[in-house]
Amino acid sequence: MKLTEAQRLQFEQDGYLFFPGHFSPEETRTLTDAVPDIYAKREAWNIREKDSDAVRTNFAAHLHSEPFAKLGRHPRMIEPVMDLFDEEVYMHQFKINGKMAFEGDVWQWHQDYGTWLNDDQMPTERAMNVAIFLDDVDEFNGPLMFIPGSHRKGVIDAQHDLTTTSYPLWTVNNDLIRQLVDRAGGRNGGIVSPKGPAGSMILFHSCLVHASGSNLSPFNRVAVYLSLCAVSNHIRRYKRPEYIAHRDFTPIALLPDDCLLKPYAVDLPWKDGLPPSALETSLEPITAMAED
Ligand code: SIN
Ligand code: MN
């Protein structure tokens, strides 16, 4: 799947593209049905909400669950990013965010690249998020919010927030958010939140400033995020465990477009649990580690 010239221009201007109903209900169901078993596991890769047992984020399902392994090689998600970068990509991060009914907590305003730079030493912003909704998303169940055009500011000052939620993040302070929203149009388009049926896809720039509120509704808002990085732009240190920031920089080999509905062989190297090496971390640059 290639982007049109108009989509490229819109992406450059707004920092995101929205594709409502990009995957069929049948395709989406193969993923949604696999989530409860994944969330039930007591593994390090399931991060639970601060004050409840609900899963906030599951990491690396493309390495331990068959339907998600296929999604991690799906051309409808990955080709547009390869097209924009004009380069092959590898999987930097793979997450299934719960945002469960009544329990899903906030994500503070942030840029993903802020974390990838500060924690993982990813050299440039040549990395992209592609999200797919596994539930219908509306104004009630904590939709993602974007500040359109904020990606054009590059890397913005951020503070390491270790307390607000159960997941550490480099977040942007309220004064800067106020300015960015004002410049993007204030109440007239300064914040947008793409909403649509399960199976919808969002592609967004790694510097686009985004957040989401809590989910006080009785409707889950499960969504999958593939963070794809240009192979030449791979991370330069392993400060975070491997299930959060991956260390296999091999270009993703795409499956056919019908892969969610047909059997295709996929590797599941972590299906029996996390290997101990995936928990090892280091502050050394990886080139120095290689020389040791
Ligand atoms: C994220 O920013 O990585 C997740 C936000 C969300 O799922 O609402
Ligand atoms: Mn994010």
Separation of CA 84 and ligand 1 centre (Å): 22
Q: Whose CA is nearest to atom 7 of ligand 1?
A: 97
- SS3 category, 287: helix
Domain count, the chain: 1
Q: What is the DSSP letter of 136?
A: -
Separation of CA 143 and ligand 1 centre (Å): 9
Q: How far is CA 101 from CA 127, 133, 209, 218, in A?
A: 30, 15, 24, 5
Residue 292 has what pLDDT? 45
In the chain, the DSSP E strands lie at: 16-19, 46-48, 55-59, 89-97, 107-110, 127-133, 144-146, 159-161, 169-171, 201-205, 210-212, 223-230
**Ligand sitting nearest the alpha carbon of 111:** 2
Atom of ligand 1 nearest to the CA of 107: 5
Residue 158 has what pLDDT? 87
Whether the CB of 107 sits within 6 Å of ligand 1: yes
Spatial CB neighbours of 187, under 8 Å, sequence gap ≥ 6: none
Q: Whose CA is nearest to atom 4 of ligand 1?
A: 107
Whether the CB of 74 sits within 6 Å of ligand 1: no
Residue 288 has what pLDDT? 53
Q: Whose CA is nearest to atom 3 of ligand 1?
A: 112
- Residue from 96, 108, 140, 212 to probe ligand 1 pocket by mutation (most atoms less than 8 Å from CB): 212
- Residue from 94, 97, 172 to probe ligand 1 pocket by mutation (most atoms less than 8 Å from CB): 97
| Contact status, residue 115 vs residue 170, Cβ threshold 8 Å | yes
The residue segments making up the domain with residue 81 are 5-290
Pairing of strands 46-48, 55-59: antiparallel
- Residue from 55, 107, 166 to probe ligand 1 pocket by mutation (most atoms less than 8 Å from CB): 107
171: domain CATH number is 2.60.120.620
Residue 169 has what pLDDT? 85
Residue 168 has what pLDDT? 82
Burial class of 265 by CB neighbour count within 10 A (0 to 12, 13 to 18, 19+): exposed
Atom of ligand 1 nearest to the CA of 110: 2
Q: What is the pLDDT along the chain (292 residues), one digit of tens a residue?
A: 889 999 999 999 999 999 999 999 999 999 999 999 999 999 999 999 998 999 999 999 999 999 999 999 999 999 999 999 999 999 999 999 999 999 999 999 999 999 999 999 999 999 999 999 999 999 999 999 999 999 999 999 888 888 887 778 889 999 999 999 999 999 999 999 999 999 999 999 999 999 999 999 999 999 999 999 999 999 999 999 999 999 999 999 999 999 999 999 999 999 999 999 999 999 999 875 544 4
Residue 174 has what pLDDT? 94
Separation of CA 213 and ligand 1 centre (Å): 10
Residue 283 has what pLDDT? 94
**CB neighbours (10 Å) of residue 261?**
12
Whether the CB of 210 sits within 6 Å of ligand 1: yes
